[in-house]
Chains A and B, each alone.
Chain A
Amino acid sequence: MTVAGASLLATPHPPAPARPRRPRTGYLLLLPGVLWLVLFFLVPTVALVASSLYDPTGSLFEGYQMTWHVQNYADAIAEYAPIFGRSLLYAAIATGACVLLGYPLAYAIAFKAGRWRNLMLIAVVAPFFTSFLVRTLSWKLLLGDNGFVADTLRTLHLLSPDGYLLATPLAVITGLTYNFLPFMVLPLYASLSKVDPQLIEAGSDLYASPITTFRRVTFPLSLPGLVAGTLLTFIPASGDFINSELLGNPRTRMIGNEIQDLFAAGALPVAASLSVTLMALIVLMVLVYVRRVGTEDLV
């Protein structure tokens, strides 16, 4: 039932205009960056896995034999299992502490800060501006035996008179928590700030107390940020060794310390197998975690 419009010349059906070939600019733009990552991320990963299978009797100077020496893994895991466990434990505790400390902070910035919001965000990020190592070193001062914190705790009888804070697992975990806190706060804040305040008002309107509203409305909506935050905290923390080295003692060594030292000593296959095992453990835990929490908002 169409009614053609006004004048049309009785020309024969005109040919379709030639469509220009769409240039593959997308691929071109992507190419240099992807190439770099393939060369210096993907290939090294392969090299790492390969190195982990070398015959351990080689050396950096003499070269290595590729013998598919899977035994390296068995040896490494047997010897370093407790340290793996310790690393993952410390990382988990630090992540938990980051959630406990970071969630209220993110929540406050998102909902309670008003015009101080930007200032608070800067305050969260500002410690980043000093060097990672320098910051960690100042914890050495803060937690020192004659320092303010130790003194206060002794006065409060939370610490025995000859107790100390430095060179303990507590110090290491404190350092880890401190250094990765912004990684927890920022994604959480990003998620929380997207929550429409009217949703919270709707919760109140529908007879929910503030705590219930939080539990059933706000918290579930902040999950993507929480997942991102925990991943961005746990993963680097489990591989860290700086905090352990500066703030801990030989009994608090983490897997990062071991890998670092093994590489420095030139024991390539062992160090590589430890690295790969760490990576595999992390991937496994992340998959389980993400599956359980049920969200796929990663990037």
Chain B
Amino acid sequence: MTDSRSSAGSQDLVLDRVTKRFGSFVAVSDLSLTVPQGSFFALLGPSGCGKTTTLRMVAGLEQPTDGSIRLGADEISRLKPYRRPVNTVFQSYALFPHLSTFENIAFGLRRRGAKDVRKAVGEMLELVELQSHETKRPTQLSGGQQQRVALARALINRPQVLLLDEPLGALDLKLRRSMQIELKRIQTEVGITFVHVTHDQEEAMTMADTIGVMHNGVIEQMGQPGSLYESPRTTFVSNFLGQSNLVAGHIVDAAGPDLVVEVQGTKVTGLRSRAAVTAGDVWVGVRPEKVTLTRSDASPGEGWNVFRAGVVSDVSFCGVSTQYLVRMPWGQELIAFKQNTGAEAGLRAGDVVDLRWQREHTFFLDASEDAEAGVEHEDGA
């Protein structure tokens, strides 16, 4: 495998203002993005946000209503799926039940009249560690094995882009975790552009070089997992990736190096680079794991923000950490995670605490957005 990353940019996947309408329903709206060649890109979003539709348009299984899709210099939007150098790993795997594992993997090669099929399939079987299963039918394989066959079947064709449609959804937790590492390893080894569609934000953050968070047919924010997580730009992203505490506030000073925001009678400061807006009403955001709960109201010290006089309303033990719900004097319940290092005794419901966090961990979002956007409710709403 040649290192395709050396010729960076030559075979980037480019979606240019792609729109897809089904009747009056707009599934994908004016979507533009560039996936650099050889990178692992995750398209992340809740069900119904349009990510699978986008993937299918790249595969050729749907036609865009507007816009174009390009691979390097080639316009591929009009090409049939069997003419695109793009392969898909389907959510249900779609393995051909009447063919053996060997024939499934060889399918694409045979259609293109490749010569040494046996050798290529053998190498692929080694890559996915299924050498002893080549004569078996898909129904005789476990879920994890089927998933690897689906992957091998697509990869063997050396596509320029490999599309994965929530391929790990049907696997149980432990298997999913190990497959995530596997996929990442394979992608790094093989160097092909991967576009991975998922609703699992942990999966996206683990595997991807770049994540695009998609909501209602548009990409709300795109970037590296770390920067997306630490600097969300919209309430949806802040709630969909991990969890966030969002408190209403008003910017009082935007002139200096830091932003100063008035929140419930307290002053909160934070970095300007973490602010989506720099004037007017904002949501002040901080991640629960960045929040420390302390009993006394000792002086916070330089560089810390504090909310005082919260009352612990719920304590949940989660193994690795403990989740605290703290009811603030203004009625809102905030969340704090504390890693169970075993160093100190935990807090109990009814304890009065201060919430403090370092000011660099604050982010600011546009107050006109819905603070509940992206929060997953029990009924799946």
Interface of A with B (CB < 8 Å)?
Answer: 1-8, 11, 13-14, 16-19
Contacts and interface: CB of A to CB of B under 8 A. Distances in A.
Q: Is the interface of A mostly helix, strand, loop or mixed?
A: loop
Given A11-B16, A17-B63, A17-B68, A2 B218 contact: yes
A5 B219 CA distance: 7
Given A3-B220, A17-B64, 5 more contacts: A1-B369, A5-B33, A5-B212, A14-B68, A16-B66
B30 A14 contact: no
B67 interface: yes
A5 B366 contact: no
B155 to A, nearest CB: 26
A21 to B, nearest CB: 12
A2 to B, nearest CB: 4
B222 A5 contact: yes
B63 A2 contact: no
Contacts of B295: none
Dominant SS at the B interface?
strand
A14 B17 contact: yes
Contacts of B31: 5
24 contacts: A1-B366, A1-B369, A2-B218, A3-B220, A3-B222, A3-B233, A4-B219, A5-B15, A5-B31, A5-B33, A5-B34, A5-B212, A5-B219, A5-B222, A6-B222, A8-B16, A13-B17, A14-B16, A14-B17, A16-B66, A16-B67, A17-B64, A17-B68, A17-B78
Contacts of B239: none
Given A2-B218, A4-B32, A5-B34, A19 B63 contact: yes
A287 to B, nearest CB: 36
Contacts of A2: 29-30, 218-220
A6 B34 contact: yes
A119 to B, nearest CB: 23
Contacts of B339: none
Nearest to A13: B17
B216 to A, nearest CB: 9
Contacts of A5: 15, 31-34, 212, 219, 222
A211 B51 CA distance: 51
B65 interface: yes
B201 interface: no
Contacts of B220: 1-3
Given A6-B33, A17-B68, A17-B78, A1 B16 contact: no
Contacts of B34: 5-8
A19 to B, nearest CB: 6
B37 interface: no
A2 B222 CA distance: 11
A3 B221 contact: yes
A153 to B, nearest CB: 53
A17 B33 CA distance: 18
Contacts of B33: 5-6
A7 B16 CA distance: 10
A14 B65 CA distance: 12
Which among A3, A4, A14 has the greatest number of chain B C-beta atoms within 10 A? Answer: A3
A169 B369 CA distance: 81
Interface in B174-228: 212, 218-222
B222 A16 contact: no
Contacts of A3: 219-222, 233-234
Contacts of A18: 78
A152 B219 CA distance: 83
B77 interface: yes
Nearest to A16: B66
A296 to B, nearest CB: 27
Contacts of A7: 34
Contacts of A16: 64-67
A18 B77 CA distance: 9
Contacts of B65: 16
Interface in B254-305: none
Contacts of B63: 17, 19
Contacts of A8: 16, 32, 34
Contacts of A17: 63-64, 68, 77-78
Nearest to B369: A1
B231 to A, nearest CB: 12
Nearest to B373: A1
Nearest to A6: B34
B333 to A, nearest CB: 26
Interface in B9-47: 15-17, 29-34
